[in-house]
Structure 1
Amino acid sequence: MTDTTPASGPRADMIRNRRLLLTAATEAFAEGGVDVSMSEIAQRAGLAKGTVFRHFASKDDLLAAIMLQLLGRLTDLAARLLEADDAGTALRDFMTAGVEALAADQAFCDVIGRPSLQHAEVRDAIGRLGDVVEDLTVRAKERGAVRADVTGTDVMLLLGGIHQTAAPLLDTDPLLWQRYLELTLDGLRDSGARTLPHPPPVRLRLSAPSTPS
């Protein structure tokens, strides 16, 4: 008979502790941004501070792990939406989910430019998300749902722009981002669109950190 008893012992404890840490850190960073201390995260998780550092050598390593989770969720969503019948609604649904995620997570925007983005896995994850968003955007253009000169990189950058526009007032008006999302979506539509005055940006891919000479 095959033993179906759940795994136990040190390995099971490590898996459990890592899950507790990621959950606690995700909640803490979402509420307080990246200045939340590792001690507070350990306390939220009900673990010793030393346990945090056994799993994550630095706060940037922990932020990278959280970013990978969020980027993975957005990439999975975009991939599922590629199968939707209505390409325009699919792009809209992705942008709505993306801005909503940013509005709910103060740390995600805080983390841009931090060393955690120099993790190869994070750079690769951003590249994968960019590829799928490009496919979503191309599909929407082919259906005439959005203007012909918009790119997936435009879409990804607009997500941050929408959030930053609403960010100063989100504490008192947490759904304000919906207003600016709708204004942006109107600008993406092809009907009566003027030619954009500047070419699109290059693909949103982060380069590896340079090594000192």
Structure 2
Amino acid sequence: MRADAARNRALLLTAAEEAFAEHGMDASVADIAARAGIGKGTVFRHFPTKDDLLAAVMLDRIDALTTAGTKLLDAADPGAALLEFLTLAADRQQKNDLTVLQEAHAVNERLTEARTAMFTLIDTLVTRARDAGAIRADITGTDVVLLMCAPGHVAGFAPHGGPDLWRRYLAIIFDGLRPAGATPLPIPPPRMG
């Protein structure tokens, strides 16, 4: 890819992530193009449909988290590695919350494959932390996947919370994952997929 095309693609993805975070699926291609400082035609040269653009934004986010998580697989402290991964995920969500696009996995096959790879990675991080005794024995990767968006979601309800309030709720969630003081969970975890 030429340097100017790569630059335009990066600008588009950043602008699209911001627009989708603000407007969900109602974000317009015209608004995204204006935010990126490029013409609408350039958007369609990179992404033939709005769904293709949405999939690229989600894929970019998932790939970034998967890359970061993969680097944590060999960490000496598996509990700290899992917490770092959850912190990265919550921080990224806080910057641009795309939870309104949760059903985006149906947009294309490549996105579905990337989500599956990230879920497998999370399961590995959870298994390592559980085997090390850093988290309770009954916590699964599915539990952690479902909790990933919780810190930002909960903080969003606080009328006077600051931009870092999500960190408080991530700490509460992670403390709940720890084995100290744990009581048996009332039902088994849900299955993903």
SS at match of 1:113: helix
Distance across 1 between alignment mates of 2:10 and 2:170: 33
Mark the runs of 5 or more structure 1 residues left unpaired by the alignment. 1-6, 206-213
Q: Which residue of 1 aligns with 2:173?
A: 184
**Where do 1:98-113 residues align within 5 Å?**
98-106=89-97, 108-113=98-103
Q: What is the Cα deviation at residue 152 of structure 1?
A: 1.0
Q: What is the Cα deviation at residue 172 of structure 1?
A: 4.9
Q: Which residue of 1 aligns with 2:8?
A: 17
Q: Bigger shift: 67-76 or 165-174?
A: 165-174
1:83 matched to 2:74? The reply is yes
CA contact (8 A) 1:102 1:163 kept: yes
1:152 matched to 2:141? The reply is yes
Q: Which residue of 1 aligns with 2:153?
A: 164
Question: What CA deviation, in whole Å up to 9, does each residue of 1:61-106 have, x standing for no partner?
Answer: 1111011111011111111111110111111111111111111112
Distance across 1 between alignment mates of 2:61 and 2:40: 24
Q: Which residue of 1 aligns with 2:31?
A: 40
CA contact (8 A) 2:87 2:170 kept: yes
SS at match of 2:102: coil
**Aligned pair in 2 of structure 1 residues 170, 72: CA closer, same or farther (>3 Å)?**
farther
**Aligned pair in 2 of structure 1 residues 50, 171: CA closer, same or farther (>3 Å)?**
farther
Question: What CA deviation, in whole Å up to 9, does each residue of 1:125-150 have, x standing for no partner?
Answer: 11000111111111111111000000
Distance across 2 between alignment mates of 1:68 and 1:170: 32
Q: Which residue of 2 aligns with 1:121?
A: 110
Q: Bigger shift: 137-146 or 154-163?
A: 154-163
CA contact (8 A) 1:148 1:190 kept: yes
**Aligned pair in 2 of structure 1 residues 77, 171: CA closer, same or farther (>3 Å)?**
farther
Distance across 1 between alignment mates of 2:159 and 2:65: 22
Distance across 2 between alignment mates of 1:81 and 1:170: 35
Q: Which residue of 2 aligns with 1:197?
A: 186
Mark the runs of 5 or more structure 2 residues left unpaired by the alignment. none
CA contact (8 A) 2:51 2:107 kept: no
| Greater C-alpha radius of gyration | 1
Q: TM-score, normalised by structure 2?
A: 0.89
Q: Bigger shift: 39-48 or 164-173?
A: 164-173
SS at match of 2:148: helix
Aligned residue pairs, count: 193
